[in-house]
Structure formats: structure tokens, C-alpha cells
Chains A and B, each alone.
Chain A
Amino acid sequence: MDTLPSINKNICDKCKVNKSTILIRQAKFCTNCFKINYTNKFKSNLSKSSSPVIDARADIMAAISGGANSISLLDLISDFQIPKTSSHQKYNSLSIGHIDESTLFPSSDENSIMNIIKKYPFKSVTRKLEEVFESNKYNTFFKTHKRTGNDVTFSKAETEDLKSPSELLLSFFESITSPSTKDYMLTQIKNFLILDMAKELKCQVVATGDTSTSIANKTILNIVEGRGYSLPFDIGAESSQDPEVWILRPLRTSTKKEVAFYNHVSGLESCVVPSFSTKASGSDNSLISLGHLTETFLSGLDSEFPATVSTVASTVSKIKINDEIKESDPSCLLCFSKISKHASRYKNEVSVGFRDDSESIQNHADLTSIQTQLCYACLANVENLVPNTVLPGFVSQTSTST
């Protein structure tokens, strides 16, 4: 009898036959049972949706960066689309949307990413980050201006003075003083481009590769950044912040460990998607962003208490959209989330502000006050840009002049 526990020690908890190869939250799985479990969770998340468009067999775009999460997403989602006559086919069509970040991160291996994407028989669109600075796409551009009285203001950039889109992109990020704001702005530009690509491809649904690990990280990060109001939109199981495009996160119940293991045992090739914090070490403060610190903190906590990530992600999935939020509420110029009517007042109350009425916005006809046109987190982050920084073109598209 004494030998029985040792015999069973490494047997799969599911099939009770094969040797286990992966430990997920104290449960042991063999490779075969793990793959079945991983695929079933994905399938269930892809199907369970409260979106009316999904029931009507919508067109879907998978947002693919080339990293491990999105390659796993692409592999799984393509299984439901190939062959095209399959009864499992969930969507009318599947397209791939990719953002080329090589101008900002020259180490990004675009050729390898494109080679992976080309292996799949789906329509694909690639956008470059610098497209948000193209003057033939946007009529006007805002640039940051020093605080005027109590107002955060933008002025109009003269289009004839503008540099090339690539130079504007690079100087935009160079003019950001905080590594956290760099990450924040990059996220907003990518979110905009993903939605824009989906609209170009006429897709009503976008699937992203957010895992429970990234959702837990984003939850903590967003709260720290002051994005609590828009939390359900940013990390919810599915969200409809943009009325035209529904966001789905079908990997939301799998951890990054599961993604890494699935990709490894399935022989899926992925690329390293560089970020501002790539290779940033703890002793390198100039590169350490809130996002990087949050990830380090949570992964450390999760290694000691293995349910941390899943508990945070599962808790946040229950967060409901605030009853206060109405369709008609104004949206933030930068991140397009709804603006809390208390944001601007709260910002002024907690800020070490100054009141200089002689510098009032009324005295500057060329300036636009964006104090009430940005959400709380964007307002805080915009203040980390040095004056005279040209902003992405989409920021000026929906602004109302003061």
C-alpha cells in the first residue's frame, strides 16, 4: 500500500492513465488532456457571448502581434474556420490584423511575423504605427501646450511644418518623460489601429490574445493608472466600447503558462514582440514602467500563491459597467472610453494645482481646452508630454473647440 502514492504521483488527474506533463493550479495533466482542456476552454469562450452580432454569424478579425498569445489564438481560431464548410465554423469569415511596430522597435522581426501569418489562408491587413501621423489621413493635428491657468490645452499644429510620419512617431515617444506614459500611449495607438483595421475589413468582432495573466496585470495597472471607470471595457470578457466593433478575449481563462506550454507541445512558432521594457532590469529605473513593475509583482506573487492570477482575472470578469455610463456620454479623445463626469473636477481637486486667472484659456483663441474631453487617466498621462509635441491624428478628429 505504501508504494501506491508514488506510482500515482505523476499520473494525469484527468485520464488517470498517462504521465502528467504540466501542472496547472495544482492539477496535473498529461499533454493530451491538457490540449483538450485548453481547446475546450477556448471554444467555450468563443461561443459564449452576449453580443447580438455573434449570433448572426459575424465576420471576425484576429489581432495578431506575432507573440506567443496571439499565435496561440490564431492557431485555435483557425481550427474553427478550416475547412470552410465545417459545421463548427463560427464566423462568416476570419481576417488577420497586424500592427508593424518596426519603426519604433527596429529589433522587431517583421519578416518572421509575416511568414507565420502567411501560413494561414486568411485575408490579412498590416498597419504601421506611424500611420496615425499621416497628414493625408488626418486634416488637423494637435500639439501639446503648456498648462494654461487650470486647463490642460492643445494647440493646432501647422501641417506644413510637419515632419514625416515616422519622424513624428519617434519624436512623439522621445518627448514622453515617463516610461509608464510611453507604454500607455503605445497601447492607445495600437487599440485605435486595431479597431480601425476591423472597420476597414468590415469585421464586427475582434478577437485579442489577452490571457488571464495579462488581464490580471492590466487590472492592477489600470487601477493604478486611474482607468477604474473604464475597467469593464478595457479588460472585460467581451466589450463593446466602440459601437461598431465587439471585442472578444477567448483566451481569458488560460494563463500565459498554459499558452507557452500549448505552443511548445504543438510546435507553434512565435516571435518576440519588443516593448519599451524589454530587457529592463530592476536596477534600470529609466526603463521601468508601471506595467513592468505590475507584471514583476504579480508573477512573483503567483509563484508563491498559484491562484493569484486566476483569482484576480475571475474577480474582474464580474465587474459590471457603471449604470452612470450612457451611450450619449462624451468619449475621450485619446482612448475613446466614456469620460466620467467627475474626472476633471476630481483631477483638479487632487492635483497640486495653480490658479492664475490672467492666463485663462479665454485669452488664447488659438488654444483648445481638452480638460473635459479626456478621461482621467489620459489627462494624467498627457501631462507627461513636453510642450509642442505633435499628437496622433485621431486625437483631433472628434474634438470640440472651446
Chain B
Amino acid sequence: MKVTVEFSGGMELLFGGVAEESIEIPSEFDGKPACVRNLIFWLRENKLKEKDDLFIQGNTIRPGILVLINDTDWELEDGPNYSLQESDVVTFISTLHGG
């Protein structure tokens, strides 16, 4: 499945300065359709260049990072449980000072 991820507000510093990237991820994880939580952990394994705790806390994203799915707040879209669709754009924006 192809999705686009965007990083801004300092998030790009955690991903080697990349602000936008089109990535190919499995469409299923453990036999279930891929969700945003799967994408977050996939990014941690495959793209994250800094320490895990700057991106992830517990089993979700670190508080203070705004996640948008196709320009909509993920809190209105089932949050980490949102089932990803082909060509979705997922945006991560850090609202923490200095990235």
C-alpha cells in the first residue's frame, strides 16, 4: 500500500531532514488491515533516525505531536486505529518547542 507521510514543526529533524516521502507499507499487519498505529511503528523501524522516545511514547505517538490524516485531525478519525487507505496522506507536526 502506498501512503505519503509529511513531517514538519521539527519532526523532520527526527527523520533525517525529510519533509515529505511516499512510502510503501504492507497492507496488512498480523492479518489485520494496516492502521495508523502500524504506520507509526513501521516508521520507527524503517525511517526514524533519532531516539524512539522522541517519536513514540507507550504504544502511540508522543504527546505534543499533531497527527493529520488527509488534512483532518486524527482524533476525529479514530486516532491510531484509523484504517489506512491507498494514497492517504499522514502528516506529523511537532508542537513542542525546538522540535
Contact = CB atoms under 8 A, between A and B. Distances in A.
A373 to B, nearest CB: 30
B54 A281 contact: yes
A272 B9 CA distance: 6
Contacts, number: 89
B95 A257 contact: yes
A272 B98 CA distance: 6
Interface of B: 8-10, 12-14, 50-51, 53-54, 57, 63-64, 66, 68, 71-73, 75-76, 91, 93, 95-99
Interface string A258-294: 0111001100001011111111011110000001100
Interface of B is mostly: mixed
Contacts of B99: 272, 274, 278-279
A300 interface: yes
A20 B8 CA distance: 22
A273 B99 CA distance: 8
A272 B99 CA distance: 7
Interface of A: 10, 19-23, 28, 31, 68, 213-214, 217, 256-257, 259-261, 264-265, 270, 272-279, 281-284, 291-292, 295-296, 299-300, 302-303
Contact of A279 (B54, B57, B95): B54
Given A279-B50, A302-B63, A264 B93 contact: yes
Contacts of A257: 66, 95
A20 B10 contact: no
Contacts of A19: 72
A102 B75 CA distance: 37
B93 A265 contact: no
Contacts of B13: 272, 278-279
A298 to B, nearest CB: 9
Contacts of B50: 279, 281
Contacts of B14: 279
A69 B93 CA distance: 13
A149 to B, nearest CB: 39
B98 A261 contact: no
A180 to B, nearest CB: 14
